[in-house]
Amino acid sequence: MAVAHHSSHVAWMEVGRVELMRSAGMSYAQMERDGVSLALVGLELRYRAAARFDDLVDIETSTESCSRVRVAFAYRLSRLEDQLLLATGRTEHAAVDRNLRPVRLPEPLRRILTADRVFAAMGEVC
C-alpha cells in the first residue's frame, strides 16, 4: 500500500528516545552497562496522517515527566518535507536493574532527563 506499517512508529519513537539521551551526554548503552534499564510500562500512539514510502520523518522527543523511578517521554512525528504531523505519542518507563527489579534512577541520569530539552532525530520510511 506504500504506507508505513503502524509498528514502525514505535521503532521511530525508540530512535528519538535513544538520541535524546545521547545528545544529553548519556548513551542508552552506557546506562545499561551501569546496570539500569528503562522497562516500557506504557505506550500511547495517536496516528494523524499516513507516512508514505520514501518519506523522511522528523522525530521530536522530549521528557514529559521524571520521578525517582519512572520517566515519560513525549513524541511528535512529522514528515520532514512539509512538517505534516503524522503521529503523536507517549511512552512511560520504569527504572529496573539487571534482574528486572525496580530501582531508583541514578542522579546523573535524572538530571539529564529533567533538563529542559527537546531533540529532533530523523527516520526514513522504507
Domain that holds residue 85: 6-124
pLDDT tens sequence across 28-85: 999 999 999 999 999 999 999 999 988 899 999 999 999 999 999 999 999 999 999 9
Give domain status of residue 30, yes or no: yes
How many structural domains are present in the chain? 1
Give domain status of residue 34, yes or no: yes
Give domain status of residue 1, yes or no: no
Give domain status of residue 54, yes or no: yes
Band of pLDDT at residue 126, cut at 50, 70 and 90: very low
Q: Which residue has the cell 496516528?
A: 47
**CATH classification at residue 58:** 3.10.129.10
Determine contact, residues 117/62, Cβ cutoff 8 Å.
yes
**What pLDDT does 121 receive?**
57
Task: Give the separation between CA 44 and CA 88, rounded to whole angstroms.
Answer: 8
Whole-model pTM?
Answer: 0.89
